[in-house]
Amino acid sequence: MLSQLQIAKPSLEVRTERGKDSHPWFALQVKACYEKTVATLLHGKGYQWFLPLYKCKRRWSDRIKEIETPLFPGYLFCRFDIQNRLPILTTPGVLLIVGIGKTPIPIDQAEIAAIQTLVTSGLPSQPWPFLQIGERVRINYGALCGLEGILLDFKGHHRLILSVTLLQRSVAVEIDGAWVHPIRQQHHVPTFPIGSRPLLVG
């Protein structure tokens, strides 16, 4: 019986061979358990891709093993020219480019940057149910200094929730409550109707 035991430090998988920094990041929905395979294929095509991973310990019947698994299962991020997306869509394992209606939508650059900062910080993190309400805070100290997110108290520990709005997915990282300062000014965040999810397009 497979079960997750504990969350360990995340890791960063990103390659930048000949990817163009001027192109926006898009989220790709891929076949289950194909995230690393697709990343390898995109690597071979020279695209800049980003696959945030975290380490966790899982128990089989006879042993405990530490494995790396995606923070956003079923998705990875890639930079490319949306007008030339056929090489992306024909990559084995890629199902769709995430968007709304028939239009692929880029991922907010600030959200991508926040997730990249998180995984390079080495702080323990884990997938978390999507949150878009609550007190927004800014971290003033430590490896995540400058990041903004939603502060949550869970089992007596403070966690900062970072979200990718288009995917309606979040990740949580444990922080020291003394690191954060509330943000009084409300920032506009794109929202979707309650109960709805953005459509996935190819």
C-alpha–C-alpha distance, residues 97 and 133, integer Å: 27
φ, ψ at 82 (rounded to 5°): -65, -25
C-alpha–C-alpha distance, residues 43 and 13, integer Å: 11
C-alpha–C-alpha distance, residues 14 and 49, integer Å: 5
C-alpha–C-alpha distance, residues 40 and 15, integer Å: 10
C-alpha–C-alpha distance, residues 114 and 109, integer Å: 9
pTM above 0.85, yes or no: no
C-alpha–C-alpha distance, residues 148 and 164, integer Å: 13
CB contact at 8 A, 124 and 8:
yes
pLDDT for position 192: 40
Instruction: Please state, as a whole number, how many other Cβ atoms lie within 10 Å of the Cβ of residue 63.
Output: 7
> How confident is the model over 114-168, as pLDDT tens digits?
999 999 998 888 898 887 666 788 998 888 999 999 988 877 788 899 999 999 9
Q: Where are the domains of the chain?
A: 3-107, 109-182
CATH fold of 3-107 reads Alpha-Beta Plaits (3.30.70)
Spans of the chain below 50 pLDDT = 1-12, 14-19, 186-202
DSSP structure class, residue 58: E
C-alpha–C-alpha distance, residues 50 and 29, integer Å: 13
pLDDT for position 48: 95
pLDDT for position 133: 61
SS3 assignment, position 29:
strand
C-alpha–C-alpha distance, residues 148 and 161, integer Å: 9
C-alpha–C-alpha distance, residues 37 and 16, integer Å: 17
